[in-house]
């Protein structure tokens, strides 16, 4: 996993970016495709799967619990064991840097009669797991986690699953697709109806894919605009052929690169544009970004398009807090766009950013300050004074940007480097392997 030796890299100022590219498969959809294929009876085929470390951690864990998962040419084949058919893994499951693997698989194990320990890297071991432990414990699972000095439940942790588990009705206290998905996965092998009340809409790939695999899942909206998701347990899932679209969260880096480098004009083909994921593109358009979706189509129940982006003069805006869940992973790269805009960009409602792969508000603030950007860090957001399109200083005294085992911090500052006077060094590029293998090469093809 990301235990690789750190590799510092300098990103140099760039001439106009041009060309047509595609980005690797969607990380969220890839995890879910492997998991639900494992729970179907028979052989599913997946193309476009993200072959990043996070998804490979999920694949390895599923293999350890009985799935046969193989790759030939571009096709991944999963021989599913059926809902309830997972077996006890022999060793602890190493989740590397991946919160999605850890949380979704904890849900899966919770309603099977197996016991397993989950471990992760230094970043994942700091992330809060109480939000998953609480609902899964209510379903009957026994979860023992390490307690931090400030009394947070963190990894490593051991889940002793229970079968049959108790169906749960649960109102999500945090807007989290991972918590929602963990409960739904636990609900698949639980008799009766598992019901989730979701006051704030988060990415809905699990619901869409569960329906595609033949689960009985109903989604309604109540009078208070909450989504109510009801899943009938002891489901029988049918194997599927899945085409994973390009990841909008990866495309985001290339979109901002094209917006901030003068003269750029690029197309990113085959990107998922599920509205629960595209908040960044809406915000950038409001800032004056020329971003168009072409050839809109639906692939495997998910909306997809080619994204055409041209360099644009950006203007800072006040980003409404309610858009955050639809761009929760995109704030680091939005902050880079904001640093190049004219005027002020204000963000708020971003407490969740402090518990991602790193504390993203603090890491971004530190890095941007090194670049000479004026900003204010609040508890729940950053306010950034943009340079009005002027190149950034390139790093105080050749300081290196600290990536803190966070792929999105690394890639955000890599893109910022294109808009510096003399280049920008980041201390470690290896975390990009978790979600965007080939990031540097792809960026280089746009610049050549």
* Angstrom distance (rounded) from CA 364 to CA 359: 9
Specify the residue, 328 or 338, whose C-beta has the smaller distance to ligand S3P. Answer: 328
Smallest gap from Cβ 65 to ligand S3P, in A, equals 19
Query: Is 211 marked as binding a ligand?
Result: no
Query: Is 178 marked as binding a ligand?
Result: yes
Residue 177 found at the interface with ligand S3P (CB under 6 A) = yes
Query: Is 360 marked as binding a ligand?
Result: yes
Query: Is 28 marked as binding a ligand?
Result: yes
Written as one string, the DSSP assignment of 47-68 is ES---SHHHHHHHHHHHHTT-E
Smallest gap from Cβ 248 to ligand S3P, in A, equals 12
Smallest gap from Cβ 172 to ligand S3P, in A, equals 10
Residue 106, φ and ψ in degrees, nearest 5: -60, -40
Specify the residue, 202 or 312, whose C-beta has the smaller distance to ligand S3P. Answer: 202
Query: Is 99 marked as binding a ligand?
Result: yes
Could you say which residues in the range 325-344 bind ligand S3P, by CB under 6 A? 328-329
Specify the residue, 65 or 184, whose C-beta has the smaller distance to ligand S3P. Answer: 184
By DSSP bridging, strand 241-243 and strand 41-47 are parallel
Q: Which stretch binds ligand S3P (CB under 6 A): 39-47, 134-142, 173-181, 437-445?
A: 173-181
- Alpha-carbon dihedral sign for residues 403, 409, 410, 412: negative
Give 368's contacts (C-beta < 8 A, 6+ positions apart): 335, 339, 375, 382, 384, 416
Question: Biggest alpha carbon distance in the chain?
Answer: 62
Smallest gap from Cβ 20 to ligand S3P, in A, equals 26
Specify the residue, 36 or 341, whose C-beta has the smaller distance to ligand S3P. Answer: 36
By CB neighbour count within 10 A (0-12 exposed, 13-18 middle, 19+ buried), where does 147 fall? Answer: exposed
* The two structure tokens encoding residue 168: 């749960």
Specify the residue, 104 or 235, whose C-beta has the smaller distance to ligand S3P. Answer: 104
Query: Is 22 marked as binding a ligand?
Result: no
* The two structure tokens encoding residue 107: 């849900």
Query: Is 32 marked as binding a ligand?
Result: yes
Specify the residue, 357 or 428, whose C-beta has the smaller distance to ligand S3P. Answer: 357
Choose the catalytic residue: 94, 204, 306, 329. Answer: 329
Size of the site for ligand S3P (CB under 6 A): 9
Residue with token string 């028979």:
42
Query: Is 144 marked as binding a ligand?
Result: no
Smallest gap from Cβ 370 to ligand S3P, in A, equals 25
Give 165's contacts (C-beta < 8 A, 6+ positions apart): 110, 111, 139, 140, 141, 186, 189, 190
Specify the residue, 98 or 430, whose C-beta has the smaller distance to ligand S3P. Answer: 98
Residue 181 found at the interface with ligand S3P (CB under 6 A) = yes
Could you say which residues in the range 76-105 bind ligand S3P, by CB under 6 A? 100
HEC states along 228-257? EEEEECCCCECCCEEECCECHHHHHHHHHH
Query: C-alpha distances in angstroms, 217 versus 195, 233, 240, 271, 445?
Result: 10, 9, 17, 26, 43
Smallest gap from Cβ 28 to ligand S3P, in A, equals 3
HEC states along 392-440? ECCCHHHCCECCCCCHHHHHHHHHHHHCECCCEEECCCHHHHHCCCCHH
Residue 190 found at the interface with ligand S3P (CB under 6 A) = no
Alpha helices in 189-314 (DSSP H): 205-212, 248-260, 279-286
Provide the 3-class DSSP secondary structure of residue 169.
strand
Could you say which residues in the range 27-46 bind ligand S3P, by CB under 6 A? 28
Binding mask 128-167 for ligand S3P (x = CB under 6 A): ----------------------------------------
Smallest gap from Cβ 187 to ligand S3P, in A, equals 16
Quote the distance between the C-alpha of residue 201 and its chain's center: 15
329 is a catalytic site residue? yes
> Which segments are annotated as binding site for 3-phosphoshikimate?
27-28, 32, 176, 178, 329, 356
Query: Which chain residues interact with ligand S3P by CB under 6 A?
Result: 28, 100, 176-178, 181, 203, 328-329
Q: What are the catalytic residues?
A: 329
Binding residues for phosphoenolpyruvate: 27, 99, 127, 178, 360, 408
């Amino acid at each position: 996993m990301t235990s690789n030796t750190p590799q510092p890299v300098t990103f140099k100022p760039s001439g106009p970016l041009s060309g047509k590219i595609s980005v690797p498969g969607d990380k969220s959809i890839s995890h879910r495709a492997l998991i639900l294929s494992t729970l179907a009876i028979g052989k599913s085929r997946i193309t476009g799967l993200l072959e990043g470390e996070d998804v490979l951690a999920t694949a390895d864990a599923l293999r350890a619990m009985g799935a046969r998962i193989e790759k030939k040419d571009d096709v991944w084949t999963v021989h599913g064991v059926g809902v309830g058919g997972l077996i006890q893994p022999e060793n602890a499951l190493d989740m590397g840097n991946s919160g999605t693997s850890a949380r979704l698989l904890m849900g899966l194990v919770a309603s099977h009669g197996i016991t397993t320990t989950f471990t992760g890297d230094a970043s994942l071991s700091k992330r809060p797991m109480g939000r998953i432990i609480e609902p899964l414990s209510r379903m009957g699972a026994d979860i023992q986690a390490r307690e931090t000095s400030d009394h947070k439940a963190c990894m490593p942790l051991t889940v002793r699953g229970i079968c049959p588990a108790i169906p749960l009705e649960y109102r999500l206290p945090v807007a989290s697709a991972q918590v929602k998905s963990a409960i739904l996965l636990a609900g698949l092998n639980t008799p009766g109806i598992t019901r989730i009340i979701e006051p704030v809409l988060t990415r809905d790939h699990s619901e869409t894919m569960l329906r595609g695999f033949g689960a009985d899942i109903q989604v309604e909206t109540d009078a208070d605009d909450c989504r109510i998701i009801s899943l009938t347990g002891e489901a029988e899932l049918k194997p599927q052929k899945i085409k994973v679209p390009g990841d909008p969260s990866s495309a985001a880096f290339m979109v901002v690169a094209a917006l901030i480098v003068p003269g750029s004009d690029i197309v990113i083909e085959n990107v998922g544009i599920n509205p629960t994921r595209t908040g960044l593109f809406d915000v950038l358009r409001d800032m004056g970004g020329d971003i168009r979706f072409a050839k809109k189509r639906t692939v495997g129940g998910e909306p997809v398009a080619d994204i055409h982006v041209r360099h644009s003069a950006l203007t800072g805006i006040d980003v409404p807090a309610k858009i955050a869940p639809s761009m929760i992973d995109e704030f680091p790269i939005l902050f880079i766009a904001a640093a190049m805009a004219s005027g002020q960009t204000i963000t708020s409602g971003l407490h969740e950013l402090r518990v991602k792969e790193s504390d993203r508000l603090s890491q971004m603030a530190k890095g941007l300050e090194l670049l000479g950007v004026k900003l204010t860090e609040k508890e729940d957001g950053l306010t950034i004074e943009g340079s009005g399109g002027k190149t950034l200083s390139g790093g105080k005294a050749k300081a290196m940007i600290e990536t803190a085992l966070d792929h999105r911090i690394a890639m955000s500052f890599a893109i910022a480097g294109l808009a510096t006077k003399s280049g920008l060094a980041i201390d470690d590029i290896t975390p990009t392997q978790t979600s965007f293998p080939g990031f540097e090469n792809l960026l280089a093809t746009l610049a050549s």
